[in-house]
Amino acid sequence: MSKRQFCRMPHGGLIDRDRVIAFTFNGRKLHGYEGDTLASALVANGIRLISRSFKYHRPRGLIGAGTEEPNALVQIGRGAKAEVNVRATEVLLREGLQARSINCWPSVKFDVGGINNLASHFLAAGFYYKTFMWPTWHLYEWAIRRAAGLGNAPEEADPDFYENHYDHCDVLVVGGGAAGLAAARAAAAGGARVILAEQDSRLGGRLLWDEAQIDAMPGQDWVDQASTELGAMPEARVLTRTSAIGYFDHNAIVMVQQLPDGHGPRQRLWQVRARKVILATGALERPLVFPGNDRPGVMLASAVRQYVGRYAAMPGRQAVIFTNNDEAYLTAETLHRHGIKVEAIVDSRTEPSQHLENRANLLGIPLIAGGTITSTVGARSLKSVTVRDAVGKMIKFKADLLAMSGGHNPTVHLFCQSGGQLAYDTEHAMLKPGVSAQQETSVGVAAGDMELGSSLRQAHDAGLVAAAACGFAPVPEPRAPEAVGLAYAVEPAWEPASYDGKAFVDFQNDVTASDIALAARENFQSIEHLKRYTTLGMAPDQGKTSNVNGLAIMASLTGREITEVGTTRYRFPFTPVSFGALSGSSRGDYFRPIRRMPAHAVHAGYGAVFEDYGAWKRPAYYLRDGETPGDAEQREALAVRQAVGLFEGSPLGKIEVMGPDAAVFLDRIYANTMSTLKVGRARYGLMLNELGVLIDDGVALRLAEDRFWVGTTGGGADRIAAWMEEWLQCEWLDLKVIVAPVTQAWAVLTLTGPLARTVLETVGVSASIAAQDFPHMSFADMQVAGIPARIARVSYTGEISFEINIPSSQAEHLWHRLMQAGAQLDIAPVGVDAWMLLRTEKGFLHIGADTDGSTTPLDVGWDHVLKKKSDFVGRRSLTRPADSASDRLQFVGLRPLSGKAPPIGAHLASTAGGGSEGYVTSAGHSPILSRGVALGMVKGGRSRMREVLRLASGGREDRVEIIEICAYDPAGERLNG
């Protein structure tokens, strides 16, 4: 035995004793072996005290050995690679691993926060709802914020990288224990594509530590044989260290795979869609509820067997076993066989079966039937246990290990996430899968079958049935595994012997049986109210060890059956998942890839200051020496009004809609009619969703009778293209239409201003662009400076405008040519800020700025247009009385009486007082009008022209007059020139 691991057994276990691994815990250098988890290595080194509880900061040690562990949350690593709130039971030991306790200061042995335990009488369930209230919230908010959470999240960016993987299969088996192996092997035998996912690093489940005979061979040998056979099947894939964390609609399973340390990704997120799912997720042992059940050294009986049998680690040297079922007697036999003294078996049942009594007598272990534990002693580690026998006699045992078993809960988290309904099994005192909602079958212990032989047969048959349903039938049919398991009997023991001491139900959140009793007295008897009032089953634990005990205690206290109390629906994820795994490669620049316009480099040379607009980097303004951003905006806007400006609008969406039914399709998509548009002409249109709400706008060009060029907003390009496809593929399958997004194939350079035509003629065009030949709202294909182009006479500024669409590769060249041609005319590059100001002067609608998620075409004055349409997306919703109510917010112009531009978002109220009558949506100072201009939404605004409203924002007050939306050139003479 290693001197460094004085609680390591000299022989046995599935560890490689030739590979010693050094690690540190709380700065102390320790050693373990290859195959250890951090938890098993701590057990082998005699470390009992691992963490402090969340609320009371009580000393805590290990309770479990896997995902059920509620106490041993630690912080792994340091700096950028730190992982917080990690279960020590799920961390494979690796060389140089650094782990430390969390939720304690200055150390886990001496924690100042332990004072909370002394004040626990004042910190009962719901105390924060009764104490921390307004108006004195500011006095204690800082302390509550500091106390929140457990570990310390790193401030640096995560240096690791992650992957997302998408897959599909015929049969997905979750769980690689005996039942999962049997199901996967049977399903794959006929050629079905099978994925077997196991959260552990090895297949086998409890066969890795419990002795069993399957097909006349030791359980571990059978696991090796079945694994080899499965690995040889070409359509079978086995994923170890892979946790299924979510079960969603249409048999979609999300899994997280932990990958080996090295230069590859740290984790891989699998999103798998399976035709059939088999859940072989096993069961979690329930703790028993009794005073002092949280001391370091009090553990689940199955976890004790796992540490001893799998890791050859001794959780203690003197043990007491407390149980209400047969299986815990296996723990007594295991401990006895490995030389650990068992002081007594305390069985809460008054009459356990005779064969159990015989087994205890054979081992020389006292059996106390009808007994219960009334208290435990020990600060940082268990020292003794006090037992009350069936006649009330108190017996004290010296012990450093208490193995408890309150029965088993099938691991139904994924089943419940799938929408399945649970059923209560009275015989086995468990909630197990009842009615499935999807193409899923639960097998083995996960289905409530506690006998090994029958669970193997059930799983084998489920695998064959699942494969057959997918069209695969193995010939000859493989034989089901044969095994003889021990009988399992349990008698519920939900409530503690006394509610006076701290008998914990939820170890992670420090929820006691008395907390549940308090919730019952205060009428928080609904399971959902109980959960939130006491925090039962919340946080990373998600009720794995606490929920059933908690609802059973509530049922007992309120005189109801467990089925009447009900259960909460378990949430995704089953076990915590890192943000890195969820994002995969979508991080940094890849999280939302930056789109740069075709002439991006040219803009930078002109002093552009870029900002993010949607996913695009676009020039907000172009700074010259000594200018402020506001100066640049004013100069650029004035240049457009008095001379000419050049603006790149390449991000604007461009979608080609083609086919014999293209016009019919667009008539349904747009709120106005597109089928009457003539070839060579353009028309502005609005798009609505099914609720009649404005979602996008833009100009459509008719290229041919069966071909349109649809323009969208820059932010709506991808969304609208996908939306169109959805209608075609899901609703209007009879329409012969093709939708082709072409946004990034084309660059758009817009010349705008009274001298725009002069500049364009200077660079050379192959067709007449005179007003009489090329009127507003028309387009033509022609050569511009020798470049093939599609020019549209559309205007967003109210000035003569030419929207020049060219191949993206030609953008920089044409930009330079246009700037050179306009140099003598004081041409100016124009940024988005000035562009928005120019359209505000004209009163042009901007979807998203002037609208919100409730704005309809009626609100922006399109009622006269809609009367001409028979049907379109959203039309029926517009017939609702609320959509034509006279007090709806309506789009109007606003003139500030002070002449100063009002703040965007400022609310408007009647000068006579009262609440908000509307708000400002767009505003700015107009250099051409020498005053502020604004647009807004006002209740019944179009019927309130010339009314003056009061504006207040951030201490500033003003008056605004409601006017028509167009403040500049309302007749449109300039843009028609």
Write out pLDDT tens, residues 367-381.
999 999 999 999 899
Mean per-residue pLDDT, 40-66: 95
> What pLDDT is stored for residue 122 in this prediction?
66
Helix then strand then coil, in percent of the chain rounded to 5, is 25, 30, 45
Instruction: Let me know if residue 790 belongs to a domain.
Output: no
Query: How many Cβ atoms sit within 10 Å of the Cβ of residue 679?
Result: 12
**Got the DSSP string for 614-662?**
TTEEEEEEE--TT--HHHHHHHHHHHHHHS-EEEE-TTSEEEEEESTTH
Within a domain: 271: yes
Q: Report, as an integer, the average pLDDT of 737-764.
A: 97
CATH number of the domain within which 554 lies:
1.10.10.1100
pLDDT score, position 593: 85
Enclosing domain of residue 665: 653-743
- Same-domain pairing of 324 and 414: no
State pLDDT tens for residues 487-499: 899 999 998 878 8
Is 156 a member of any domain? no
The more confident residue out of 931 and 524 is 931
Give a yes or no: residue 623 inside a domain: no
- 355 and 418, same domain (yes or no): no
Quick one: 421 and 272 in the same domain? yes
Predicted confidence (pLDDT) at residue 189 exceeds the cutoff of 60: yes
Band (pLDDT 50/70/90 cuts) for residue 486 is confident
Q: pLDDT digits over 408-453, tens only?
A: 999 999 999 999 999 999 999 999 999 999 999 999 999 999 999 9
Q: Which helix (H) or strand (E) holds 555?
A: helix 547-558
> What is the count of structural domains for the chain?
6
Per-residue pLDDT for 59 more than 60?
A: yes
Choose the final residue of a domain: 743, 758, 776.
743
The answer to whether residues 325 and 417 belong to one domain is: no
Q: What is the CATH number of the domain that holds 271?
A: 3.50.50.60
Looking at residue 169, what is its pLDDT? 98
Q: Do residue 420 and residue 505 come from a single domain?
A: no
DSSP annotation string for 379-418: SSS--EEEEE-TTS-EEEEE-SEEEEE--EEE--HHHHHT
Q: pLDDT digit string (tens) for 549-573?
A: 999 999 999 999 998 888 877 889 9
Please report the pLDDT score of residue 766 as a whole number: 96
Question: pLDDT at residue 715 above 80?
Answer: yes
For the segment 723-731, the average pLDDT, to the nearest whole number, is 97
Which of 698, 723, 743 terminates a domain? The answer is 743
Residues 21 and 102 in one domain: yes
Q: Please check the confidence at residue 722 and state whether its pLDDT lies above 50.
A: yes
**288-315 average pLDDT score:** 97
0.85 surpassed by pTM: no
- For residue 229, what are the CA distances in angstroms to 189, 223, 472, 481, 700? 9, 10, 18, 13, 62
Q: Are residues 260 and 292 in the same domain?
A: no
Instruction: Tell me if 178 is assigned to some domain.
Output: yes
Same domain, 273 and 323: no
pLDDT in tens, 397-416: 999 999 999 999 999 999 99
Mean pLDDT of 890-914: 94
pLDDT at 262: 73
Let me know whether 303 and 361 are in one domain.
yes
What pLDDT sits at residue 3?
57
Lowest mean pLDDT segment, chosen from 91-100, 102-111, 324-333, 702-711: 102-111
Co-location of 418 and 502 in the same domain:
no
Q: Determine the pLDDT at residue 176.
A: 97
How much is the pLDDT for 1?
A: 40
pLDDT at 376: 96
**What pLDDT is attached to residue 130?**
73
- In this structure, are 296 and 399 located in the same domain? yes
CATH at residue 720: 3.30.70.1400
**461 occurs within a structural domain:** yes
The reply to whether 582 falls in a domain is no
Phi-psi region of 936 (alpha: psi -120 to 50; beta: other; left: phi over 0): beta
The pLDDT value given to residue 402: 98
The values of phi and psi at residue 31, to 5°, are -135, 150
Is 757 within the bounds of a domain?
no
Cα–Cα distance for residue pair 286/507, rounded to 1 Å:
12
**106 and 37: one domain?**
yes
- The closest of 714, 958, 681 to 848, measured between CA atoms, is 714
Tokens read off for 130: 């009764």
Q: What is the pLDDT of residues 689-714, one digit of tens each?
A: 999 999 999 999 999 999 999 999 99
CATH classification at residue 954 = 2.40.30.110
Give the pLDDT confidence score for residue 357 in this predicted structure. 94
Range 556-561 contact pairs with CB under 8 angstroms and sequence separation of 24 or more: 556/494, 556/495, 557/516, 557/517, 557/520, 558/520, 558/525, 561/424
Instruction: Convert the pLDDT of each residue in 122-137 to its tens digit.
Output: 677 777 777 777 677 7
Q: Which of 720, 743, 766 is the endpoint of a domain?
A: 743
